[in-house]
Amino acid sequence: MSGAGCMIALRGPAATLAGNPFEQPSRACLTYHDDALVVIEDGIIAAFGSHAELKDTLPAGIAITHYPDHLIVPGFVDAHVHYPQMQMIGAYGAQLLEWLETYTFLAEMSFADARHARRVAHLFLRELLRAGTTTAMVYCTVHPHSVDAFFAEAERFDARMIAGKILMDRHAPKALLDTAQRGYDESLALIERWHGRGRALYCVTPRFAPTSTQAQLDAAGALLKTGSGLFLQTHLCENPGEVEWVRELFPARASYLDVYAHAGLVGARSIFGHGVHMHEGDFCTCHAAGAALAHCPTSNLFLGSGLFKLFDAVDPRRPVKVGLGTDVGGGTSLSQLQTLNEAYKVAALIGQKLDAVQGFYLATLGGAVALGLDDRIGRLAPRMEADICVLDPKATPFMAFRAGYCVSIEEVLFLLMTLGDDRAVRATYVAGRAVYDRDRAGDPFVPAIAREE
């Protein structure tokens, strides 16, 4: 699907992270060429560097796509997003628990219709690609066919995606409940069907502790042992009322995170969404286990959940891996550029400053590290999968005006993360294929394989 035997090259300004700017000086972590070549063969980056150094190594007749006034970067990584919530994004006026009851559960009940699931998955994948996101960790619904619909659509684009069926056996509408055994059985069947098929990876997905009994959390821990490379995603310490509810439901546990640890759910491929109200002991537990957090600033602000302590989480004395999540529909956009805009403001509100290199780390290499996929995605470098985003700093007249006053790559990156949105994404490459091109005549999306209706 990624074009066996095909070699292409992209030319233009390019930037990628080569280190962690929360642990080293930001400039030292950024690799930038004002005229670069990214050489791609069979969906993998074969070479990356300056055009002057690489141009004479190219085979005769290789197709070169030139983006002279753009910026080539790794594809964005979304560490936490609910695809079934697209239909209720921007729902008014509730905090987390009321919002779930009023909007989210109703939206997810509509996924009992497999045709609806396919329709939303079709739109969701395209909107991710329009935003430059090439890998996402995705919550489906309790319905197994919601997972099938998502992975089938991702497979059409040959996209590196992680997803799973929600496990939920209490405190939700009856139509959305499974049981500990049924959830285990359905998840195991999905793992066998999808995990490792093409670029698909499976994620065991208890929604959050209050909607799973201890038996179901234990079953989720057992699921993680059924295959290699499985992931775990759930929610953690998002809202004060939620934290108190967990304390009441699990009085024997030392903390919210300890509920998951007791069930064997805290490990190197565990990603916990939000983490707004964590204490130092929680951070130490995540660090020791290699677990990661997904920072979801647009959602935390929109629902009034609180301000995530990013710089406390990544403290070099016991750093916790952190990626960036759009959430949706608690969040307000699938664009990682807009999400970075809000992440900057959240940091500023607690007296810290998120610079542009740190921001792009969260959205690219940092997200890949959080997901344990930094050996495959998140960087422009040889042997990495060729998932690439081409950004346009002059996407609007206002951005073009402002870009004229940028004197460094850091300023260009900061312009993009404060003024940018999906309009600033010129093209998205997945496994070396231009699956989205903003300026393409007709349909800007070209999947790797046609859809069977």
Q: Which of 353, 370, 387 is the last residue of a domain?
A: 370
Q: Is residue 447 part of a domain?
A: no
What distance lies between CA 113 and its chain's CA centroid? 26
Same domain, 301 and 406: no
Same domain, 228 and 146: yes
Same domain, 358 and 298: yes
Same domain, 94 and 63: no
Q: Is residue 278 part of a domain?
A: yes
Backbone angles phi, psi at 33, to 5 degrees: -125, 130
Backbone angles phi, psi at 129, to 5 degrees: -65, -35
Same domain, 232 and 90: yes
Q: Is residue 110 part of a domain?
A: yes
Q: How far apart are CA 278 and CA 288, in angstroms?
A: 15
Same domain, 83 and 31: no
How many domains does the structure of the chain reveal? 2
Same domain, 362 and 432: no
Same domain, 205 and 261: yes
pLDDT, tens only, 208-251: 999 999 999 999 999 999 999 999 999 999 999 999 999 999 99
What distance lies between CA 335 and its chain's CA centroid? 10
DSSP structural state of residue 354: -
Same domain, 278 and 317: yes
Q: Which of 317, 344, 370 is the last residue of a domain?
A: 370
Q: Domain of 46?
A: 7-74+379-437
Q: How far apart are CA 363 and CA 128, in angstroms?
A: 13
Between CA 218 and CA 94, with CA 324 as vertex, the angle to 5 degrees is: 75
Same domain, 235 and 196: yes
Q: Is residue 444 part of a domain?
A: no
Which 3 state secondary structure label does DSSP give 297?
Answer: helix
Which amino acid, one-letter code, is at 137?
Answer: M
Same domain, 266 and 142: yes
Q: Is residue 2 part of a domain?
A: no
What distance lies between CA 33 and its chain's CA centroid? 26
Q: CATH code at 407?
A: 2.30.40.10
Q: How far apart are CA 107 and CA 383, in angstroms?
A: 41
The pTM score is 0.97
pLDDT, tens only, 39-85: 999 999 999 999 999 999 999 999 999 999 999 999 999 999 999 99
The whole-number pLDDT of residue 415 equals 98
Under-50 pLDDT residues of the chain: 1-4, 453
Which amino acid, one-letter code, is at 179?
Answer: T
Q: Is residue 288 part of a domain?
A: yes
Same domain, 118 and 25: no
Q: Is residue 47 part of a domain?
A: yes
Q: CATH code at 183?
A: 3.20.20.140
What distance lies between CA 189 and its chain's CA centroid? 24
Q: Which of 370, 397, 426 is the last residue of a domain?
A: 370
The whole-number pLDDT of residue 449 equals 78
The whole-number pLDDT of residue 1 equals 36
Q: Is residue 446 part of a domain?
A: no
Greatest extent of the chain over all pairs of C-alpha atoms, in Å: 69
